[in-house]
């Protein structure tokens, strides 16, 4: 192979990896109205809840006043989900920036 085709193949491979490895990003600011963090349940309980949903956890973090979870579903789809940190209720789930689940009665 010549240099140009190697560089071309490397660029294609890098682009494919970056495109396929990206988690699903939500577009909005989710507000949980959860109060002081001293009343929040531990992240370990949230991890167990996500595992019970059949999700493979990629990342769990605090986003504003919510728990934010990046995961893969059993079918391999990348998702982003927000949970209320006091109740651990699943509030909203996004896939590729589109909302795929919203808890009944939940409004930002």
Q: Give the residue extent of every domain in the chain.
A: 24-102
Q: What is the pLDDT of residue 108?
A: 74
For residue 3, the surrounding DSSP H or E stretch is helix 3-21
Lookup result for tokens 């589109």:
98
Lookup result for tokens 């294609």:
12
DSSP symbols for 8-31: HHHHHHHHHHHHHHPPP---S---
Higher pLDDT, 17 or 3: 3
d(CA 33, CA 20): 33
Give yes or no for residue 22 having a pLDDT over 80: no
Residues shown for the chain: 108
Are the C-beta atoms of residues 26 and 80 closer than 8 Å to each other? yes
How big is the CA angle at 67 (ends 90 and 54), to the nearest 5 degrees? 50
Q: What is the pLDDT of residue 5?
A: 67
Q: What is the mean pLDDT of residues 19-41?
A: 72
Closest CA to 89 of 36, 54, 53: 53
Q: What is the pLDDT of residue 6?
A: 62
Condensed to tens digits (0 to 9), the pLDDT of residues 83-106 reads 999 999 999 999 999 999 999 999
Condensed to tens digits (0 to 9), the pLDDT of residues 38-97 reads 999 999 999 999 999 999 999 999 999 999 999 999 999 999 999 999 999 999 999 999
Q: What is the pLDDT of residue 107?
A: 87
């Amino acid at each position: 192979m010549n240099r140009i085709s190697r560089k071309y193949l490397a660029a294609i491979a890098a682009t494919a990896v970056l495109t396929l490895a990206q988690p699903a990003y939500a577009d909005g600011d989710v507000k949980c109205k959860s109060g002081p963090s001293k009343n929040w349940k531990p992240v370990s309980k949230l991890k167990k809840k996500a595992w019970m949903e059949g999700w493979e956890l990629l990342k769990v973090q605090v986003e504003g006043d919510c728990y934010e979870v990046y995961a893969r579903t059993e079918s391999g789809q990348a998702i982003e989900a927000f949970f209320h940190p006091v109740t651990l209720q699943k509030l909203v789930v996004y896939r590729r920036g589109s909302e795929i689940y919203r808890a009944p009665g939940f409004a930002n």
